[in-house]
Chains A and B, each alone.
Chain A
Amino acid sequence: MEWLILFLKVFVVFQVAQGLASLCVWVERKGSALIQDRIGANRAGAFAQTDILLLKPVMPIIRLLGVLGIINTLVCDAVKALFKEDFLPENTSNFVHSLAPFMGAFPVFVAYALIPIAPDFTIAGYYIRPQVASLDVGILFIFAMGSIAVYGATIAGWVGNNKFSLLGGLRTAAQMISYELALGLSLVCMVILYGTLDLYEMIEAQSTLLFGFLPAWGVFTQPIAFIIFFIAGMAETKRAPFDLPEAESELVAGYFTEYSGMKFLLFWLGEFAEIALLSALMVIMFFGGWDIPFVHYPETWWGALIGHAVFMAKVSFFCVLQIVIRWTLPRFRYDQLMTMGWKMLLPIAMFNLLLTGALKLLM
């Protein structure tokens, strides 16, 4: 029974990760169309017809999904990528070429094991915490996985066997290592504040009220840390305005220039899963997870389900926010990027750390 529960947890959390990544892909395509005053994907499945009587009632739904572009993004894109030729540049090894997208996507999905997706509940006598692994090191593990994710893009840049790819890979490594410092320091502030590394306990620590009306969410107690985490986190996902590694006007497509088909799609999936992971972390540390002020969830399965819905709504909001930022702001220049990381974010993060430590000692 324990094994079954563990298996179900892994299954559900993996589906959550995939679902969020797919949602991000859809918002990326339809949302960018909205922002740029286009219509976007609306054809595939929009005129679906059938002669099978049993399927007739579901056809309007399929047509609606087609008009909304969901069939295009979730079915057509994947099928196209699967059947596309897997192009391999000359003088490179197929093993390393295949290893790179795997190394890019795998750590992100492993990091989801630490994300609690709903409040605790009891069902049929079993007490269940909807978190795959509650490790003692907690947030440090996610940080470790983030530092592994550098490999994917770096190896991909090298294996492309051309200067544009290599430049993209090197930019990725430099950018991710630079912004990891500010990211880590803002995390340390939250760890000092909550006195725990466990993400579940962090959410519980935020379920009280400040001054009787304000929820004790991280964003109200640590606003500076939130801003630093948001900016550094967006830089970690390597997307505009931080998409220097794949700057298409300078580097063709940066580190994945020589990638096509499913390998390219794996990079993409990893990137969107990272956006969703970042949103989940922001919600957990700064927006109280599933917490709503003045509401207490009952410890039943439907209570957990409501908590999960609230959590996912908050996570989706931050996913969409990141995509809107990506389609709104222009790209940084490379020196601006480095100046911002080392001369702005890092000193502010260190100051905030000192401040947090001093306040924690005084209180």
Chain B
Amino acid sequence: MEDIVWYLLSTVALLSAIAVVMIPKPLYSAFALVLHMFMIAGLFAMLDAHFLATAQIIVYAGAIMVLVIFVIMLLSLQGAEERPSLLFSVASFAIVAALARYIVPRLDAAFGSSGTDLAGTVKSVGELLYTKYIFPFEAASVLIMVAIVGAVILSKREKKDAA
């Protein structure tokens, strides 16, 4: 039963990820990306990482993708004028595949064992975030704050130039 669900989720995740880059219409590829986020959330849920799965839906599918679709609708983009050549596509695929081949085993060595004794409940994630990983957590929030302030300043300056 679990195997069937896993294969279903990962197949749809892969297909929708391919669809994101293959579909010429921007709005449809955004929809495919939303579907992909859902499948990733499902895979997280299968790993008992319930909090991560829900956060994935709230943050990526619910907030970021809404903004992306918002922008696509407002600009009413019609799609790329020219498709990249086959050689370019194959070359970029080869580079990404080689990088993944290099990175994934190292990621597994670095983080693979630490997660096994922890359940992905809200409680355990929260405890880890506010004790062991308090510094990266707070640093990330400062980083996001800097990005927000920067965005506000940049958009204000553009408005002044236009006026």
Contacts and interface: CB of A to CB of B under 8 A. Distances in A.
A169 B27 CA distance: 15
Interface stretch (B51-59, B78-86, B139-147): B51-59
Interface stretch (B62-70, B100-108, B110-118, B129-137): B62-70
Given A136-B122, A137-B122, A140-B122, A154 B70 contact: yes
A244 B61 CA distance: 24
A137 B50 contact: yes
A166 interface: yes
A151 interface: yes
A147 B57 contact: yes
Contacts of B63: 147, 177
A150 interface: yes
Contact of A170 (B34, B55, B70): B70
Contact of B27 (A135, A143, A158): A158
B58 A136 contact: no
B66 A177 contact: yes
Nearest to B57: A144
Contacts of A140: 51, 54-55, 58, 122
Interface string A146-173: 1110110011011000000010011001
Given A137-B122, A170-B74, A154 B54 contact: no
B73 interface: yes
Interface string B10-36: 000000000000000001000000100
A157 B63 CA distance: 18
Contacts of A158: 27, 69, 73
Interface range on chain A (Cβ under 8 Å from partner) = 20 to 34
A170 B67 CA distance: 10
A69 to B, nearest CB: 38
A178 B135 CA distance: 29
A134 to B, nearest CB: 11
B92 interface: no
Given A136-B122, A150-B66, A197-B122, A169 B50 contact: no
B70 A135 contact: no
Contact of B58 (A96, A147, A151, A197): A147
B73 A169 contact: yes
A297 interface: no
B121 A136 contact: yes
A301 interface: no
A362 B53 CA distance: 33
7 contacts: A144-B61, A146-B62, A148-B62, A150-B62, A150-B66, A158-B73, A177-B63
Given A136-B50, A173-B66, 10 more contacts: A135-B50, A137-B50, A137-B54, A140-B54, A141-B54, A143-B58, A146-B62, A166-B73, A170-B73, A197-B122
